[in-house]
A and B are shown apart, each in its own frame.
Chain A
Amino acid sequence: MKKILKNKAALIALIFILFVTAAAVFAPLITPYDPSEQNLPQRLSAPCAQYFLGTDDLGRDVFSRMVFGARISVSVGVFAVLLTVLIGVTIGMTAGYFGGTADAVLMRFTDIVLCFPTFFLILLVIAFFEPGIYSVMIVIGLTSWTGLARIVRAEVLSLREREFVLASRMLAVSRLRLLFVHILPNVISPIIVYAAIGMGGAILTESGLSFLGLGVQPPAPSWGQILMQGKDYIYSAWWLSVFPGIAILLTVLSFNLTGDFLRDILDPKDAN
């Protein structure tokens, strides 16, 4: 707790994440307008008292759309990262603990996924399923677990030879208990760090996909989508691209800073 107060950047990043999350959760309470309510006479109006982040080409309030967009970005981030952690930890722990053939097969599979051009894989999955928020979550989850699997495997590999694990084995402790009570809690810190940085990555990928029209479909507002709509008006209506851009930038930056901070405090070498 003391450490976070000392680390100003991490503190600000964490406050910003809480702020974005709160905005996502309480979106209907915060927004002055419905995100898809059109006001055509006021289309492309610059930031003013009535629409303080301006309106888009259909006269929709950019601020309201961005707050609802936070909902999509945060939920895509959370679910994609949950999927990433689930796959990465399962594969990493199985490979690391059982070793031998299981390790060889799982790690070669990981290498194959790692070698695959991620964007091609994403396009492939979206070609098979419909583009939309769920496809985006699944696609990001399915492509970003490889690094985590490698980290977890390496940790488990060294933990299973640790004295306390051997001592528990000598007490005839079951394999499940060894894995979930002795090994998993001791690899939790790299997993948390990976998840925090992965959140930023997932939000960025979602924005990229939505920008290309392959992610969240209109009229649902997402940051990448607002950005895409704004690109046609970038010279005349800068607010359409700049505000969602800033939101993506700050959110991703905040998750990365938090990830770095967590790595620093969870690293046992720095703990003392």
Chain B
Amino acid sequence: MANTLLEVKNLIKTYDREEFFSTKKFLALDGISFCAGENTSESFSVIGSSGCGKTTLAKIIAGLIEFDFGEVKFFGKNIKSYAPREFASMTQMVFQNPYASLNPKLKIKSSFLEAFYGAQKDEAYKIIEDTLKKTGLDAGILDKYPHQFSGGQRQRIAIARSLLKKPKLIIADEPFASLDVYSQNMITDIFSDIRKNFGISIMLITHDISIAKRFAQRMIVMDGGKIVADGNYDDIAGAKENKYIYDLISAMEL
């Protein structure tokens, strides 16, 4: 399906867990399948407690780690058959820890210019300026180092970097988790702007169902490496026979 943004089919991933004298396999993803963005951009969230495999899923879709079995396709094309540069304009990732997201030894400018390796400099600066404007950042940040910024600002810079390649999908792995409430709201606003103004789909990974509910209609709930529910809030609330969903919903209603 060449018009579908993202297709994940029967994804299986195991980790080796070393024990005293043996290596045990630990099943992180146990047959994940879903589609997103048929004929249009689509934002959705993936909800799950820590250790349920949601970050593993994100990193696999981002092409950062290998998987054992299954398929991941962007626009009908397997991620393994994309050239690295081509794949970079397919998807980008925003990470949980803004303090580790930018190389402390590089000016923001140098980090940003990495997106334009081999391209014309003037053109690169034009795109950078444009992106900064749209994310509400000042051009003065380019000559500064990461340590001169707060966590919220760094996350905003990391988001701006993820936009430079004009990707179709941004994977945001708990982008609010280490921020204060003010910065959380700021980042949420930026994400809704990105969706509206850039037409980019966002896959938000979170453990907080109330953030997910505010963020997008569609939610995918994961537990123990499996998808246990997929749909809007009402669909999920209807699946209360699952223990994890029951806990999520009751936590929400408190």
* Chain A residues in the interface with B (C-beta under 8 A): 162-164, 166-174, 177, 181-182, 185-186
Contacts and interface: CB of A to CB of B under 8 A. Distances in A.
Given A163-B95, A166-B95, A167-B95, A172 B88 contact: yes
B158 A167 contact: yes
A27 to B, nearest CB: 38
Interface stretch (B1-9, B96-104, B130-138): B96-104
A169 B114 contact: no
B100 A163 contact: yes
8 contacts: A166-B93, A166-B95, A167-B162, A170-B93, A171-B164, A172-B85, A173-B114, A173-B117
B101 A181 contact: no
B73 to A, nearest CB: 18
B97 to A, nearest CB: 6
Nearest to A177: B114
Contacts of A177: 114
The winner among B64, B87, B162 for most chain A CB atoms within 10 A is B64
B54 interface: no
Nearest to B82: A172
B211 interface: no
B87 A164 contact: no
Contacts of B106: 181-182
B127 to A, nearest CB: 13
B249 interface: no
A172 B101 contact: no
Contacts of B84: 172
Contacts of B165: 171
Contacts of B92: 170-171
Contact of A172 (B87, B96, B102): B87
B105 interface: yes
A174 B100 CA distance: 20
A101 B15 CA distance: 18
A169 B102 contact: no
B253 to A, nearest CB: 34
B101 A171 contact: no
A186 B117 contact: no
B156 interface: no
A177 B115 CA distance: 13
A164 B88 contact: no
Contacts of A182: 103, 106
A228 B157 CA distance: 63
A164 B102 contact: yes
Nearest to B96: A163
Contacts of B117: 171-174
Nearest to B83: A172
Given A163-B95, A163-B97, A163-B100, A171 B105 contact: no
Contact of A185 (B64, B105, B115): B105
Contact of B114 (A163, A168, A185): A168
B62 interface: yes
B102 to A, nearest CB: 5
Q: Rank and list the top 3 A-B pairs by shortest CB-CB distance, nearest first.
A: A172-B84, A163-B95, A172-B88
B161 A167 contact: yes
B88 A167 contact: no
Contacts of A164: 100-104, 111
